[in-house]
Amino acid sequence: MIEDDPASEASLEMIRAMVEDCAENHPECKPDTPITSFLPTRLLSVSDKLKLIETSNTTLDDPRYLALSHCWGLTKMITTTTATLKSRLAGIDETTLPKTFQNLFRLARSFKVPYVWIDSLCIIQDSPADWDREASLMGRVYSSSHCTMAAAASPDGNGGLFIERNHLETQICDIFNFPNEAPANLYTEEEEDSHPNAVINIFPPRPSWEKLIEQGILSTRGWTLQERLLSPRVVHFTNRETVWECRTAQRSEMDYHMSGLASGSVAMTDSSRIFDKRPFKTEVVDFARWYRLVNLYTRRSFTKDQDRLAALSGLAQEVQQKMGWHYSAGLWEEDIVTGLAWAPNRTPGTEHYRPQTYRAPSWSWASIEGPIKFLRSSEETKEESNIESDGIQLKVLSISVVPFRSDPYGMLKAGCLTVRGVMLIAAIQKGSLVLPQDSQGSQKHNGKTGSSWRKFHHWIRRGEKGQQNTPGQPREPDAGKVSFGNLEFDIPGESQDQDVYLLQVCLGNKPPALCDAMALQRESSRKFRRIGWVTRISKEAFEACGYVEIEIE
């Protein structure tokens, strides 16, 4: 049933039929803005001899283009650079380009689409200014493409779009059931039709539609998440079959062969909404969708660590535009308290570390490399903000970020969160989080004397280090301290013994006596940086602490 050769005329015809059906019959898949309102800075013209064009210098009669979603891999990628730009504009010898690119040109020509967009050739790779500007336009490049072709199973440019298939994995076996009669192959098609139960189709074991895409190497790469989500339609060239996805329909090659274009439309269930290709609109999105996306996104990897925010820039712009929220370092200011409550997701085989080059402030999930998870929901935060109990909740007074270059959604060179909240000083001793105890042996601070930051700090220092102990109090640093709460360090290597400052973030009304806190390290008098997250800490521990106003960087 499935073509052995994904490059056969029949295979190309199937893809063309799916693209045309979508373009003509799916109102949901029509671009939000006219096709001519955005053009990538550069495109590759495939109509005649292959060459790079600059769209500002050219009038395009038919501006449709196919975009490529692919892995660069470890092989040296052919790129456009400041030195090669001129020659690329004059013409490119196709035979020198990787197989994936050549496959893409074949598709474009066969569909009579005059242009294609490939990142390595359409962005000047050695010009930081060009790269930064183009990276910030990437979302629009994919969302305005006629169709995106995804090299789902190719680790690098040599893999191609058209991947050879294993016949045994794809073919349906027909078993004929004509008891006491002649062997089935002696029957004509008409006779078979008159015996509807006579043929049993045995399908080879087959992964789900989503698995076909997700198990490909392309789905492990960071850049390709927004490429998939923002494209109006995508053809995934997997190593088993070709898979179609648009805002209206999801369809596999098997579906197409079984029931044609009427097949494969899938109702969007809640669990698949993460990949709902409909763009972010108020009726289908909430903050939770963003957090789910970030969870998935942080499991993906990059060749360059510093791309982590840049490769989400297009998606962030889309959400910002649709929802009117304000974006800072991978989080939304309108739901910032929920956004601050993240922790590393330590599943087998994962590793967490800080990237070599600064890319985001410590309070953002983007400051660390490795999978993360969000710990709370927006609903919980909203509920808490309505609770009057003692009026204790973190107030974010201001958020500022400084982009590394021009893209405010991309890599950052600084970021600062100014907050007013309740802070407690504790310590890590011999690997345990400890809190000073008062003379009654309770975890509670005596009285309200620690209500200002300075006094409170002083009190803790005295109790903690035994420097200004009053007579009768234990002098050993370990004595008079008890373990409490669960502190998880963002990076395991940062868990050495030290003072640690706990900023109460979430009231945690379930269970009522416990709350969450951000664990901070002090940089200077008012400046702190996040090093971890504490869950299930007793609210009582914060009772005697007054409000402080601090900056977290």
- Interface with Zn ion (CB under 5 A): 22, 26, 29, 246, 248
Alpha-carbon distance 272 to 274, whole Å?
Answer: 5
| The two three-digit tokens of residue 479, written as one number | 């004595």
**Residues forming a β-bridge with 246:** 233
Our CB check for Zn ion shows the closer of 26 and 522 to be 26
Alpha helices in 298-442 (DSSP H): 313-323, 336-340, 378-385
Alpha-carbon distance 216 to 242, whole Å?
Answer: 12
Give yes or no for a contact between 38 and 138, defined as CB atoms under 8 angstroms apart: no
Residue from 519, 523, 516, 520 nearest 538 by CA: 516
Give yes or no for a contact between 359 and 305, defined as CB atoms under 8 angstroms apart: yes
214 membership: H or E segment, kind and range: helix 209-214
Q: How far is the CB of 233 from Zn ion (least distance, A)?
A: 6
Our CB check for Zn ion shows the closer of 29 and 329 to be 29
Residue from 322, 130, 310, 148 nearest 229 by CA: 148
Give yes or no for a contact between 485 and 472, defined as CB atoms under 8 angstroms apart: no
Q: Are strands 331-332 and 327-328 parallel, antiparallel or unpaired?
A: antiparallel
Alpha-carbon distance 25 to 492, whole Å?
Answer: 53
Alpha-carbon distance 206 to 209, whole Å?
Answer: 9
Q: Whose structure tokens read 């929220």?
A: 325
Residue from 67, 91, 207 nearest 141 by CA: 67
Alpha-carbon distance 422 to 502, whole Å?
Answer: 8
Could you tell me the sign of the dihedral formed by the alpha carbons of 318, 323, 325, 329, in that order? negative
Q: How far is the CB of 21 from Zn ion (least distance, A)?
A: 7
Alpha-carbon distance 7 to 10, whole Å?
Answer: 8
Cα within 13 Å of Cα(421), Cβ side: 26
Q: Classify residue 525 by burial, with Cβ atoms within 10 Å: 0-12, 13-18, 19+.
A: exposed
User: Which amino acid, residue 503?
Assistant: L
